[in-house]
Amino acid sequence: MLRIVSAGSTFGVAALVARELGAQESGRFFLCLSMMTILGVVLRFGLDGVILRMGAAYRACGQIEIAKSIFYLAIVIVSGFGMTAWAIILLFNGFIASNIFHDSGMVSVLREMAPIAIFLPISWIVAEAHRAAGRIILYQWISASGVPMIMVGILLVAGKCNSQWVARAYTLTTIVVFLLAFGYWILLEGLNLRLSTGGHLSAFLRLGPSFLGIGLVSMINQQGASIVLGILAAESQVAVYHVAARTATLVTFLVVATNTVIAPEFARLHALKDIRGLERVAKRSSALVTFGSLPAVLFLMIFSENVMRFFGDEFASGSLVLRILVLGQLANALAGCVGMVLTMTSKERLAMVVSIGSLIITAILWLAFIPTSGASGAALGSVLGMFIGNTAGMVAVKRSLGFWIYPAWSAKLEPVK
């Protein structure tokens, strides 16, 4: 249910911002938001994935104090990265806006969003720590629902505003969500001011880059098209692509929700060497998200122009963009939880190789299509890259674990080799 609220709230933020600001102003905000989101992945250095994996393992063994210790160490490290990035953005935001994106109007928006460089990555660390402790609903609220839910309320009350005001509101909302999440952690787990690095730093350095690579590739696949559009096309094209992409993700909110719940189950089944059980869960989850997505796919394909016009007349031309992205999300649903299966079964390096290869192909397609086709080219490049990446991931699961992932609720299981 919370994932449904999250998807609706994220769509609501995109709709309210687009309708209030128009294509150019909203494109400016969406572009800065994409930049800060990708930067947030870089700054957490994969430690969110490390906290989930190690924290859950230590808690399962009854070593809760060690789980807490690695959490606080990760918070300190990521906070340091974030403060450094914040200072760099404040110093060079004029250069970034004028020389890279050729829009001096971005300066004020980027300056307002600079604190997100600190609070977004550490919010993800807190979210994964709660997830490792079994607080799935709280994890979902911190990582996906909290900010858009609050932002929808702010935008509904605010009325007339500009991109700078929206950027400031988004930053303050991100800070509030972090403070609530971290405060609740302290209430439940206590505050540990004595950090013991032990062998944790070496574990961070060993596991962090793999999780960073996987997370960064995933986020660039989601947000990178907006960045390339901001460089090679008009900001209005960024807005058209962004709202179409946010709408298309309504198709596969079940994918995200299912992955959130079953990720620990994959890790548990792998630890028990129960490959048949793992195969059964993977195929059933793929069936769930595929058939659950079909009504939304049909609706958006038929009424794509009406849906895009809802954001404003400037966005009606993006109906083709929406249809392309919806088909891509359907293909994503068919592949189900390929990436999660690999990362939760100690195949994170293989998952990273697949993800990086997919991203390289996607980036090449963006550079080829965007200069001539704008947002439509970005959508086509994203979908083709997603299809290639999912196909490669399915092959990787077959070779490493011995079974194919496809939608099947009660299919005969493949022999374990």
Sequential DSSP letters for 67-134? HHHHHHHHHHHHHHHHHHHHHHHHHHHHHIIIIIS--TTHHHHHHHHTTHHHHHHHHHHHHHHHHHTT
Residue 285 neighbours by CB distance under 10 Å: 24
Q: What is the DSSP letter of 142?
A: I
Predicted pLDDT at 137: 78
Residue 346 neighbours by CB distance under 10 Å: 13
The angle subtended at Cα 220 by Cα 37 and Cα 250, nearest 5°, is 80
Q: Which stretch, 62-76, 249-263, 292-306, 371-385, has highest mean pLDDT?
A: 371-385
Report, as an integer, the average pLDDT of 149-176.
Answer: 85
* CA-based radius of gyration for the chain: 21
Break the chain into its structural domains and give their ranges: 1-198, 204-417
Percentage above 70 pLDDT, the chain: 86
Predicted pLDDT at 189: 79
105 and 93 in contact (C-beta within 8 Å)?
Answer: no
Report, as an integer, the average pLDDT of 129-145.
Answer: 80
Predicted pLDDT at 195: 61
The angle subtended at Cα 43 by Cα 357 and Cα 11, nearest 5°, is 75
Long-range contacts of 79-86 (CB under 8 A, 24+ apart): 79/118, 79/122, 81/43, 81/44, 81/45, 81/121, 82/43, 82/117, 82/118, 82/119, 82/121, 82/122, 83/118, 85/39, 85/43, 85/117, 85/118, 86/114, 86/115, 86/117, 86/118
Residue 247 neighbours by CB distance under 10 Å: 26
Q: Which residues contact 348 (CB under 8 A, 6 or more apart)?
A: 49, 207, 210, 211, 214, 342
> 415 pLDDT exceeds 50?
no
Token digits for 363?
A: 């980036």
Q: What is the DSSP letter of 46?
A: T
d(CA 383, CA 50) in angstroms, rounded, equals 29
Give DSSP secondary structure letters for 348-382. Answer: HHHHHHHHHHHHHHHHHHHHHHHHHHHHHHHHHHH
d(CA 329, CA 283) in angstroms, rounded, equals 18
pTM of the entire predicted model: 0.75
For residues 122 and 13, the model is more confident at 122
Of 35-44, 185-194, 323-332, 406-415, least confident by mean pLDDT is 406-415
Token digits for 372?
A: 């001539």
Q: Which residues contact 151 (CB under 8 A, 6 or more apart)?
A: 9, 13, 169, 170, 173
d(CA 93, CA 172) in angstroms, rounded, equals 19
Side chain identity at 66, as an amino acid letter?
A: I
Side chain identity at 390, as an amino acid letter?
A: N
Q: Which residues contact 153 (CB under 8 A, 6 or more apart)?
A: none
8 and 147 in contact (C-beta within 8 Å)?
Answer: no
Predicted pLDDT at 199: 65
pLDDT in tens, 16-60: 888 787 877 788 888 888 888 888 888 888 888 777 777 777 677
Report, as an integer, the average pLDDT of 292-296.
Answer: 80
How many CA atoms does the CB half-sphere of 334 hold within 13 Å? 13
Report, as an integer, the average pLDDT of 159-164.
Answer: 78
Reported as a pLDDT band with limits 50, 70 and 90, residue 417 is very low
> 411 pLDDT exceeds 60?
no
Report, as an integer, the average pLDDT of 71-90.
Answer: 87
Predicted pLDDT at 196: 60
Of 380, 180, 344, which is closest to residue 259 (Cα–Cα)?
344
Reported as a pLDDT band with limits 50, 70 and 90, residue 107 is confident
d(CA 407, CA 222) in angstroms, rounded, equals 24
d(CA 8, CA 240) in angstroms, rounded, equals 18
Q: Which residues contact 2 (CB under 8 A, 6 or more apart)?
A: 137, 140, 141, 145
Report, as an integer, the average pLDDT of 379-403.
Answer: 86
Average confidence score pLDDT of the chain? 80
Q: Give me the phi and psi of 368, to 5 degrees please.
A: -80, -40
Q: Which stretch, 21-25, 70-74, 95-99, 386-390, has highest mean pLDDT?
A: 386-390
Reported as a pLDDT band with limits 50, 70 and 90, residue 115 is very high
Reported as a pLDDT band with limits 50, 70 and 90, residue 173 is very high
Predicted pLDDT at 172: 92
